Amino acid sequence: MAKSSRQSDLGPLQQRLGYQFHNPQLLLQALTHKSYAKENNERLEFVGDALLGYLVGSMLYRKYPQVQEDALSLMRAELVRGQTLAILARELDLAPLLRLGSGELKSGGRQRDSILANAVEAVIGATHEDGGIQPCVGLVDMLYAERIENLDAESLKDAKTQLQELLQGQGLELPVYEIQDITGADHQRQYCVSCSVAALNKSASASASSRRGAEKAAAQLVLAQVRSEGADHE
């Protein structure tokens, strides 16, 4: 009985999604955390993650025909990152509908960004598995059209440029990038690079298949650290 009553609670959510499920059990599964049941949302999350990256990438490609691949990748990463997905989950009011085990409930799982983000991806996956690609395209467009339209111009700049401009704006020394390690065969080379901002006591390391890629990734991590603390260094 509890199961059917939960399914009956999904009507308002389907209205918010703009899609009526043929099989509401799929939507219920998308809202089921692994702590609650063996049949949970992890597989649907896997599908939704792939679809989200593809569909958001396609939207960006059409919207910004003059923007190069590296900038498009940064824009997509910003749009599909966990924090953004958690915001979408709250806009859709998913939290009250999540099915969580008692331990997750007691520890505040309904408000945990990672759980909310995974649920959004699972809902996208469930929409595809229930109705195919078209309703999935419609859902992602509904969730992201305005966000893509209103992307800040700063998101078009790579992390190294953003970090440099932020530090210059505060009169601070530029970051220092150092190669920490190089591994792998010639055709599978991996560079580990550190990015350090001595004035703010911030540093991070990241790896990529190119030195420039590793520098960008490390800069992104430091940039996130600085922004999370407000970078209040006058």
Q: Could you read off the pLDDT of 5-32 as tens digits, one per residue?
A: 366 689 999 999 999 999 999 999 999 9
Please name every residue paired with 202 in a beta bridge, in sequence order, or none if there are none.
197
pLDDT at 155 over 50: yes
Query: Which residue has better confidence, 228 or 209?
Result: 209
pLDDT for 1 equals: 32
Residue 187 pLDDT level (bands cut at 50, 70, 90): confident
208-225: pLDDT as tens digits: 888 988 998 899 899 888
pLDDT at 68 over 90: no
pLDDT at 3 over 60: no
Fold of 2-152: Ribonuclease iii, N-terminal Endonuclease Domain; Chain A (1.10.1520)
According to DSSP, the β-strands at 190-197 and 176-183 are antiparallel
pLDDT at 231 over 70: no
pLDDT at 83 over 80: yes
The closest of 35, 23, 72, 51 to 120, measured between CA atoms, is 51
Residue with tokens 């940064």: 74
Fold of 159-228: Double Stranded RNA Binding Domain (3.30.160)
Return the active site residues: 49, 121
Domain boundaries, the chain: 2-152, 159-228
Question: What average pLDDT does range 122-138 have in this prediction?
Answer: 97
pLDDT for 5 equals: 33
CA R_g for the chain: 21
Residue 228 pLDDT level (bands cut at 50, 70, 90): confident
Q: Where is 121: in which H helix or E strand?
A: helix 113-131
pLDDT for 84 equals: 92
Residue with tokens 């806009």: 91
pLDDT for 156 equals: 60
- Which range has highest mean pLDDT (16-25, 103-112, 154-163)? 16-25
Least confident of 10-14, 54-58, 224-228: 224-228
Q: What is the largest CA-CA distance in the chain?
A: 64
Could you tell me the two tokens for 95?
């939290």
CA angle 55, 61, 67 (to 5 degrees): 145
Average pLDDT of the chain, as a whole number: 89
pTM score, two decimals? 0.67
pLDDT for 125 equals: 98
